[in-house]
Amino acid sequence: MNASAHRADEKTVARAPDRGVARRQAFLHAARTVFLEQGYEAASVNDVVRLAGGSLATLYAQFGNKEGLFLAIIQDEHERLTEAMTPKCVDHLPLEQGLQQIGEQFLRTILTRESLAFFRIVVGEGRKFPQSVQRYVFTGADKVREVVVKYLRHAAPEFKGDYDSVASYFLEVLRSRHQYRALADDAYALSDAEFAAHVGHAVRFIVNGLRLY
Q: What is the mean pLDDT of residues 150-175?
A: 93
Flag the least confident range among 6-20, 102-116, 140-154, 166-180.
Answer: 6-20
Residues of each domain in the chain carrying CATH 1.10.357.10: 74-212
pLDDT score recorded for residue 87: 80
Q: Quick one: which of 158, 86, 82 has its CA closest to 115?
A: 82
Do the Cβ atoms of 121 and 36 come closer than 8 Å?
yes
74-212: CATH architecture: Orthogonal Bundle (1.10)
| Domain covering 3-64 assigned CATH 1.20.120 in the classification | no
CA atoms within 13 A on the CB side of 74: 27
pLDDT score recorded for residue 98: 94
What's 90's DSSP letter? -
Average pLDDT, rounded, for the chain: 86
Q: What is the mean pLDDT of residues 128-139?
A: 71
Q: What is the mean pLDDT of residues 23-27?
A: 93
pLDDT for residue 17 is more than 70 = no
* Portion of the chain with pLDDT greater than 90, in percent: 53
pLDDT for residue 16 is more than 70 = no
Rounded to the nearest 10 degrees, how much is the dihedral formed by the CA atoms of 188, 190, 195, 198?
-60
CA atoms within 13 A on the CB side of 157: 2
| CA dihedral for 72, 78, 84, 88, sign (positive or negative) | negative
> CA-to-CA distance for 27 and 42, rounded, in angstroms?
17
Residue 3 pLDDT grade (very low, low, confident, very high; cuts 50, 70, 90) = low
pLDDT score recorded for residue 213: 63
Flag the least confident range among 14-28, 31-45, 48-62, 142-156.
Answer: 14-28
Q: What is the mean pLDDT of residues 195-207?
A: 96
Kindly give the interhelix angle for 113-124 and 3-42, rounded to the nearest 10 degrees: 70
Task: Report pTM.
Answer: 0.78
Residues of each domain in the chain carrying CATH 1.10.10: 3-64
Q: C-alpha distances in angstroms, 56 versus 9, 27, 59, 63, 95?
A: 28, 10, 5, 11, 53
Residue 106 pLDDT grade (very low, low, confident, very high; cuts 50, 70, 90) = very high
pLDDT for residue 81 is more than 90 = no
> CA-to-CA distance for 160 and 142, rounded, in angstroms?
22
Q: What is the mean pLDDT of residues 103-110?
A: 93
Q: What is the mean pLDDT of residues 170-196?
A: 94
Output the furthest CA–CA distance in the chain (Å, rounded).
77
Burial class of 34 by CB neighbour count within 10 A (0 to 12, 13 to 18, 19+): buried
